[in-house]
Amino acid sequence: MKPDEILRIHKHRPFELPEGSWIMRQIWHDLLFAHWPIERELIAPHIPKNLQLDLWQGTAWVTISPFFIEPLKIRWLPPPPLVRSFLELNMRTYVTYKNRPGIYLLSVDASSRLAVEAARFGGLPYLNADMGMKQREGTICFSSERKDRRGGTASFKGNYYPTSSEVFQASHDTQLYWFTERYRLYTQKRNGVMLAIDIHHLPWPLQPAELAIEKNSIGEVLGIKLPHSKKPILTYTGRQDVLIWPPKKVESRG
């Protein structure tokens, strides 16, 4: 879809479209959402003091998402050749700032070194990793081995696939809507300045999914051990077109 077509559809958002112009467009492919409940005491130490941990019916949640970005385009510029496409694996939790919901990234592994350094300059917790993604008879085989001293050793390997061709959208006031329909990312730079990054996209096209995990230590380096005995809530999305606005300052520490 063209950006103007994406912008015309916005009534599904929990808050209004951001002001100003978007500066980046990304298309996300073969994305998995894997949501786990987690004790809030494990998450709270990682959340900046100006953010409030967002809970669903009193429970904190973390989500792991592997996916493929292609293409990444900067508005008004030709596609950057070294970061046009790359793999990403992020782990996030849910927060609010002055009652505005968003996500907070706990870690992001990526296969593009240039994308990692650019994101870290903006305060995002990106880390270099050796990553692979293959599709075999409808199953996505995704692997990641972190190779970045700034984030400690962590790995993920799993196979996932949609279990139905039916595509649906999460209804308002449901847990899936609470997980997925968030349009702001918060991050804090080393100097304590907190930033918000707004995004926009169409409602998430979701499919039920299955995931078989061979290894997953993404959270353990942060002291967050996911409850492997409890099956995560899973959805798959084949494609999502995303518009991204420039970071803006929302708060400074102390």
Q: What is the pLDDT along the chain (254 residues), one digit of tens a residue?
A: 899 999 999 999 999 999 999 999 999 999 999 999 999 999 999 999 999 999 999 999 999 999 999 999 999 887 777 788 999 999 999 999 999 999 999 999 999 999 999 999 889 999 999 999 999 999 999 999 999 999 999 999 999 999 999 999 999 999 999 999 999 999 988 888 899 999 999 999 999 999 999 999 999 999 998 887 789 999 999 999 999 999 999 865 44
Residue carrying structure tokens 């991050």: 187
Q: How far out from the chain centre does Cα 138 lie?
A: 23
**Residue carrying the six token digits 């992020």:** 90
Phi-psi region of 43 (alpha: psi -120 to 50; beta: other; left: phi over 0): alpha
Q: Could you say which of 2.40.400.10, 3.30.1510.10, 3.40.50.300, 3.10.20.30 is the CATH number of the domain covering 3-12+21-251?
A: 2.40.400.10
pTM above 0.85, yes or no: yes
β 155-162/207-216 pair status: antiparallel
Check residue 252 and give its pLDDT. 53
Q: For the chain, give every domain's residue range.
A: 3-12+21-251
205 in Cβ contact with 162 (< 8 Å): no
pLDDT at 81: 73
